[in-house]
Amino acid sequence: MEFPKFLLGDNTDYPDAIFIVHTDYPRFIINLENDEVEWLEEFSPEDEKELSSEMNTLIEEATRFYDREVSRYEKE
């Protein structure tokens, strides 16, 4: 099964949180309420160095995805 690169999620146990799930490597979940990121991968020290430079780009992409999705809901 193929998944989109990003998925939008919520949970009634966290009523103020908005979760974006990044399904490509490196997989992660970001909570847009507080920008907390949970990585779904384990990284070597070398990978962590490379990832730190890529992190800002991934978060910007996740935020753009969220903004696009919200704008589509507002049009309905």
pLDDT in tens, the chain (76 residues): 899 999 999 999 999 999 999 999 899 999 999 989 999 999 888 888 788 778 889 999 999 999 999 999 887 6
Question: What is d(CA 1, CA 31) in angstroms, rounded to the nearest whole number?
Answer: 25
User: Are the beta carbons of 21 and 6 closer than 8 angstroms?
Assistant: yes
Q: What are phi and psi of 48, to 5 degrees?
A: -60, -35
User: From residue 26, how far is each of 21, 55, 56 by CA, in Å?
Assistant: 11, 10, 13
Domain definitions of the chain by residue range: 6-75
What is the reported pTM? Answer: 0.85
